[in-house]
Amino acid sequence: MNKRKINWYKLNRSLHRDIGYFCIGLVIIFAVSGIAVNHKDDWNPNYRVEQAIAPISTQNWSLDNDEKLISQLLVTSQIDEKVKASYWASPTQFKVFFKNGDNLLLNLKDQQIIYEKITPRHVFQAFNRLHLNETKASWIIFSDAFAALLIFLALSGLFMIKGKHSPWGMRSLWVISGIALPAVYIFL
Amino acid sequence: MNFCKILILMIATIGLPSAAAEQFGKPVDNTNRLKISTIMAAPDNYLDQPITIEGTVVGVCAKRGCWMTIASDKRFENLQIKVNDGDMVFPMTAKGSKAIATGKLNKIQLNLDRTKALLAHRAQQAGNEFDENTVTEPMAIYQLVPTGVEILE
């Protein structure tokens, strides 16, 4: 009985193709989140925070009664939001937190009201949650498996093409460059 | 057909939690809650034991969600909860919500320069005048390093 020979070249190409298709979504999630996390100091990827500052005229604020003070602030600022909590940050700064996530600061010293609107960036938040492993332990196992698949894609890529375009001839310069560039950053 | 079954099984296994989860880390210890004002009156007495605090969230790290400021029961006083980046990520929308946190109090001893810089920053935030020549002694700051945090509605 003839033993059927495995065509390793063909098998490698098929696996590289299908695993590549499977990894498309994950690569995009990790890449987009990676860019966002890299630039955290310049840009907040999780929330859009907008501030509106309004000067206020001197008036008799009910500083000894928080509930009355909140009512005054809501009327003055023409805000119709449900209040979650309030807090005196200092003798001249009173904060009101709203149920929609926004907040308002009464600054008595500078005579101004600062309204802070917080809008979550849901897509980036979800990507970052996955990238930073803020989810269940099962996701860590899954992302470890994904890392193994990426290693497979990298190595199997070396055996995808035969002939003059293979990475074993002149094209090896691309492979060497990809290894050398990170090495330069480490040793510089 | 087999491929579809495998895909469904994988998605079911991942089991990502909903974004509305408000429990971070281990469960909090609700049996022995202390007032923040009690702790801050003599913080060195609470360094070597797990403690649980409760209060309104009045500040959250906007970019990394790595700290929250909890208002004390005493006016103008608060305590910061601090985690390493990524250990827990507190949502900005927690501002104004009640939070319970269990953990250990961490003392950070500042030198004189850092003390002046911190006090200058605090004065600026509060809109007060600050003269650094009035600061002659270094100070220590205290943060709660939590093992578990629960944010209530």
Residue of A nearest to B75 (CA): A88
| CA neighbor of A120 nearest in space, from B95, B67, B101 | B95
Q: Are residues A142 and A178 in the same domain?
A: yes
Query: Which of A28-37, B48-57, B109-118 shows the lowest per-residue confidence on average (mean pLDDT)?
Result: A28-37
Q: Is residue A3 part of a domain?
A: no
Is B66 strand, coil or helix?
coil
Q: Is A51 a member of any domain?
A: yes
Going through chain B in order, the beta strands assigned E by DSSP cover 23-25, 33-34, 51-60, 67-71, 78-82, 98-109, 140-151
Give the end of a domain, one of A98, A120, A142: A120
How far is it, in rounded angstroms, from Cα B33 to Cα B55?
11
**Chain A neighbors of B92, CB-CB under 8 A:** 46-47, 49, 101, 118, 120
pLDDT per residue as tens digits for the range B110-141: 999 999 999 998 888 777 788 988 999 999 99
Closest residue, chain B, to A82 (C-alpha): B96
Residues A38 and A76 both lie in one domain? no
Residues in A closer than 8 angstroms to B56, CB to CB, are 85, 87, 97
How far is the alpha carbon of B55 from chain A, nearest alpha carbon, in Å? 11
CATH of the domain at B139: 2.40.50.140
Residues A126 and A114 in one domain: no
Q: Which of B56, B83, B84, B59 shows the shortest CA–CA distance to B69? A: B59
Do B98 and B33 meet the contact criterion of CB atoms below 8 Å apart?
Answer: no
Residues A104 and A167 in one domain: no
Contact list in B for residue A99 (CB cut-off 8 A) is: 96
Interchain contact, B96 vs A98, CB within 8 Å: yes
Q: Tell me, yes or no, whether A134 and A110 share the same domain.
A: no
Q: How many CB pairs under 8 A join A and B?
A: 83
Total number of domains in chain B:
1
The rounded distance, in Å, linking the Cα atoms of A11 and A168 is 20
Best A134, A135, A146 member to test B by mutation, with max B CBs in 10 Å, is A134
User: So what's the pLDDT on residue A2?
Assistant: 64
* A40 vs A51 pLDDT, higher one: A51
Phi, psi of B124 (to 5 degrees): -65, -45
Smallest Cβ distance to A93: which of B13, B15, B126?
B126
Q: Which of A49, A84, A90 sits opposite B126 (nearest CB)?
A: A90
Nearest CA in chain A to B126: A90
Classify strands B140-151 and B78-82 as parallel, antiparallel or unpaired.
Answer: parallel
CA dihedral A80, A82, A84, A86 (to 10 degrees): 30
Which strands form A93-98's sheet, in the order they lie side by side?
Answer: A47-55, A112-120, A103-107, A93-98, A83-90
Question: Does the residue A28 lie in any domain?
Answer: yes
**A99 and A51 in one domain?**
yes
Is B35 within a domain?
yes
B127:A126 CB<8 A: no
A51 plus A115 within the same structural domain: yes
- Choosing from A71, A93, A120, the residue where a domain stops is A120
Is residue B46 situated within a structural domain?
yes
Q: How buried is residue A29: exposed, middle or buried, by Cβ count under 10 Å (0-12/13-18/19+)?
A: middle
User: How large is the average pLDDT for residues A168-185?
Assistant: 91
* A71: in domain: yes
Q: Is residue B8 in a domain?
A: no
The per-residue pLDDT for B8 is 55
Check whether A119 has a pLDDT greater than 90.
yes
Of A52-56, A168-172, B12-16, which gets the smallest average pLDDT?
A: B12-16
φ, ψ dihedrals at B9, nearest 5° = -60, -40
Strand B23-25 with B33-34, pairing = unpaired
Question: Which residue segment(s) compose the domain that A108 sits in?
Answer: 47-120
When divided into structural domains, chain A yields a total of 2
Residues A156-165 have pLDDT tens digits of 999 998 888 8
User: What is the residue-averaged pLDDT of chain B?
Assistant: 86
B86/B64 Cα distance (integer angstroms) = 8
- Both tokens of A94, joined, read 């009173």
Report the pLDDT value the prediction gives residue B19, as an integer from 0 to 100. 43
Mean pLDDT, rounded, of chain A: 89
Contact B91, B65 (CB under 8 A): yes
Q: What percent of chain A has pLDDT over 70?
A: 96
Closest CA to A62 of A73, A49, A54, A53: A73
Looking at the structure, tell me whether residues A116 and A137 fall in a common domain.
no
Residue A25 is assigned to a structural domain of this protein: yes
Q: Is residue B10 part of a domain?
A: no
Q: Dump the DSSP string for chain A.
A: -PPPPP-HHHHHHHHHHHHHHHHHHHHHHHHHHHHHHHTTTT--SSEEEEEEEEE-------TT-HHHHHHHHHHHHT----EEEEEEEETTEEEEEETTS-EEEEETTTTEEEEEEEEE-HHHHHHHHHHTT-S-HHHHHHHHHHHHHHHHHHHHGGGS--GGGSTTTTTHHHHHHHHHHHHHHHH-
Residue A136 CB-density burial (10 A; 0-12 exposed, 13-18 middle, 19+ buried): middle
Domain boundary among A120, A150, A168: A120
Domain-located, residue B62: yes
Domain enclosing residue B68, as ranges: 22-151
Per-residue confidence (pLDDT) for residue B73, from 0 to 100: 93
Instruction: Give the residue-averaged pLDDT of A80-107.
Output: 93
Q: Which of A84, A122, A135 sits opposite B17 (nearest CB)?
A: A135
Mean pLDDT of B57-74: 92
Instruction: Examine residue A2 and state whether it is found in any structural domain, yes or no.
Output: no
Nearest by Cα to B99 from B6, B41, B22, B44: B22
B17, pLDDT greater than 90: no
- Hey, are the CB atoms on A98 and B93 less than 8 Å from each other? no
